[in-house]
Amino acid sequence: MNLLKKLMLVLLCTGLLNTNIVLAEDEVDPELLSAGELLENCEEGSAPGAPNMDCMKYVVGLVLTVMQFHQAEQSPPFFCIDPQANPKEEVTDNVIAYLRKQSSRSNEDAQTLALEALTKSYPCTGSGSQI
């Protein structure tokens, strides 16, 4: 499976992370969470090093979903995170910072930009724990 197909599969799988948000809104035509909406939710009650719990749950859920995908496919990871060196608060802060830098793309799907943030913030170098 080429990298583009794998990326699309990951993005479709991570769409499941948005299910509870869509159901909570009770929309007839469900839409995925936008990057702007995620940033707005993440900034609410957050401070550097202490992101809000909902935002952290979203990011950790995305990381775990991608990790499970790579394990199932036995494919090379898109990003590598060492849980000992990169706590979930730091990872979430990096996603928030990336969303702020990409404010012109606030209407795009949140999981697309979050995955980009993780890939750029945690490139794989071939050593350490890989997620």
Residues 77-104 have pLDDT tens digits of: 889 998 888 899 999 999 999 999 999 9
Greater model confidence, 24 or 60 = 60
pLDDT for residue 61: 94
| Burial class, 104, CB count within 10 angstroms (exposed 0-12 / middle 13-18 / buried 19+) | exposed
Residues 36-90 have pLDDT tens digits of: 999 999 999 888 888 899 999 999 999 999 989 888 988 888 899 988 888 999 9
Q: Which of 10-19, 35-44, 111-120 has the lowest mean pLDDT?
A: 10-19
The neighbour count for residue 55, using CB atoms within 10 Å, is: 22
pLDDT for residue 25: 47
Please name the residue ranges forming H helices in the chain.
3-14, 19-25, 35-43, 53-73, 88-101, 110-121
The pLDDT confidence band at residue 28, using thresholds 50, 70 and 90, is very low
pLDDT for residue 10: 52
Q: Which residues contact 15 (CB under 8 A, 6 or more apart)?
A: 32, 109, 111
Question: 88-101 and 35-43 are packed helices; what angle lies between their axes, rounded to 10 degrees?
Answer: 130
pLDDT for residue 13: 52
pTM greater than 0.85 (yes/no): no
CB 80 within 8 A of CB 91: no
